[in-house]
Structure 1
Amino acid sequence: MTETAIVLFTRDLRVHDHPALAAACARARTVVPLFVLDPAVPAGRRTGFLLECLADLRRSLRSLGGDLVVRRGDTVAETARLARETGATTVCASADVSALARRREDRLAAERIELLLFPGVTVVPPGALLPSGGGDHYRVFTPYWRAWTRHPRRPVEPPPAALRLPDELDPGPLPDPGRAASPFPGGESAARRRADAWLRDGLDGYAAGHDDLAGDRTSRLSPYLRFGCLSPLELAERAARAEDFVRQLCWRDFHHQVAYAFPDLNRRDYRPRGRTWRRDDDALQAWREGLTGLPIVDAGLRQLLAEGWMHNRARLITAAYLVRTLGIDWRAGARHFFEHLLDGDVADNSGNWQWVAGTGNDSRPNRAFNPLRQAARFDPSGDYVRRYVPELAGLPASAIHEPWRLPTPPPGYPSPLAS
């Protein structure tokens, strides 16, 4: 047993089913849970949510006898400095897939300290499944799904019974989130309450209702998965009776294993098609603001701006409109989503945008995607549009999805991006 180990938290902000935390507690007498507020990893709109997650994590760790040590600066430099300060000889962390995360891991491994990486960000670790025909990852979802469902899973880890910090260690202050009431309060406690309620009351209706835009019968757990407030493995185990929902967790793993093998997923076409994209700054800005003139598209984009979240079906509709109807580069849309989504994640966001653009893992890259047909099918009464495009609230269902035009916003109408 070592004297002191550091647990470097990144986007695994929980105490339940945290293999790196469990391993540190098993091998060290004192454990230093650490989060570094790194300016090289800007959280943008997610900042308030992140700070709420950290405050909740600190409360949980304090209830176990420990604390969350918060530092500011370069993650690797601050981790190495804390190791010298505490005499820690080991850093335990959750392995991640993004290019930024892997550079951080490489730099930590070069420090004079033992770095141990553990699973926890996905259900199945990204490199655990390899195609039988060769290759370093699965390029098509369906065979990955089959392999994923058969793959043995590690046991879900309980939270540690107790923690002890080294003596006289200053945990450091945590900034106030400074956030108004939100439909997504941050933290593991809120995540587990939401998961418990949805698994009890919503899971069994997921297959029939998850595409109903107005009904909004999805779990809304994605921001909590993004920041690791929920264990994806534990959620998959608890939701096992609902294959349609578990399949969505598998899609998340699928995109992570693609990003692990192709770190430029957010910058380069995964499957180049030789397509020339249009440059139309006015059309792109109208799309960003939800002023395209197509009600179902505008409703989705305004939901994003208002809530930091968007219904999955609306994400498909709005993305397809940008790349397939307007012919604008998927990267511009991915940047906008990543900026505003609380669940903005490099692997999922870029993987889904490339799927829609036909440059990613879709086995039918030229599939048709008509937004008006999508609107009629998934928002037949128009209630979703009325909720987010109040200008159209008085229209009947027969007219609610007809294209409308606002060449410029009317006097006194604020831009949704003004704030």
Structure 2
Amino acid sequence: MFVDALKKQNPQLIEAAITLWRQGAILPDTYVIDVDQVLENGSKLLKTANDYGIELYLMTKQIGRNPTLAQRLIELGYRGVVAVDFREAEVLSEHQVPLCHVGHLVQIPDALVEKMLRLHPQVITVFSLEKAQQISKVAQSIGVVQPVMIKMIAESDQLYPGQEAGFMLNDLDNIVQQIQMMPGIKLTGLTHFPCLLWDDKQQSTLPTPNLQTLLTAYNRLTDMGVGIQQLNAPSATSCSTLPLLAEYGITHTEPGHALTGTIPANHAGTEPERIAMVYITEVSHQFSGISYCFGGGYYRRGHASKGLVFSSSSSTVQTASILPLDDSSIDYHIPLEGHYPVGSGVVMCFRTQIFVTRSDVALVSGIQTGRPVLDGIYTSQGMLKQGAFYG
């Protein structure tokens, strides 16, 4: 999906990934992240958001919940991160990464509510009265008042499978009344997802019906006299979409793919954020005229279409088509159209969610100055790998 953009915006990253692979410093099925470029992208996002009066919460699931990279970005001026599920919240909090927003896509299990409250997140999203009541009860017991957001849904809204959740818009008055009666929590925000999406036909990132639902809920609460301090509209956040969000009065959003330049709008390499992440693997074998690479990092919504194939020793580079994978099967291997020598390196660049893969994550600094340094290798869940035989 992003190979052409990668060659245009960051050919140094390709060279660094291949060099590390040839040295045996990284294995196949590794995402290589250009730390310096991520920080540059993060700086651009932060400046644009500040210009438009929007606060950004860092999204780390796309980069494997990596606490080291999160901390580096926070040093730029970000307040903290959004943890989209409780596993991410655990990993990041164990590394003292400040949690700003928890509970959005996945609620906090009862057994973790007290732990999360003691970390003092800026806001917690709830989408059931039972969860709101549980947070209220625990908050009272430890003597805090926790700000919460509610996620509102209308019948016409777009929800991804596995993410069906939220209070119905037509029940807004009743929901708010009940939440306001719960001591220990304070309703301060509204959220939804996805609020913006890339449109292939229009070749543009456009508002979804979900954004209108969010704004409708906000207007109704304003009329009710409920002070909403945070209007959170995640999805497709980038330097190009922040001005649009500001026009709608959005106060907070959560960049993820923009940090690595892998937003759909950047498929031609024209966005301010530059590509900062590649996937490297290796040809394992051939079968029935097809070459198969080591898998583990395939993401079924990644739109991976082609890869760059490198000889293990020469400078020859070939472009290979990635054949479709059966989404019902495990990605043990990734098929390439054609015959490529066993042991050849393959660089791919596509939209991914590293936290759902089995891949390694290699953080590399110095790429942009021609002196790449392997800072560390992590699991897809953000844990530093210790005692690995290859580094």
Instruction: Mark yes or no: TM-score above 0.5.
Output: no
Higher strand share: 2
TM-score by length of 2: 0.25
Higher helix share: 1
TM-score by length of 1: 0.23
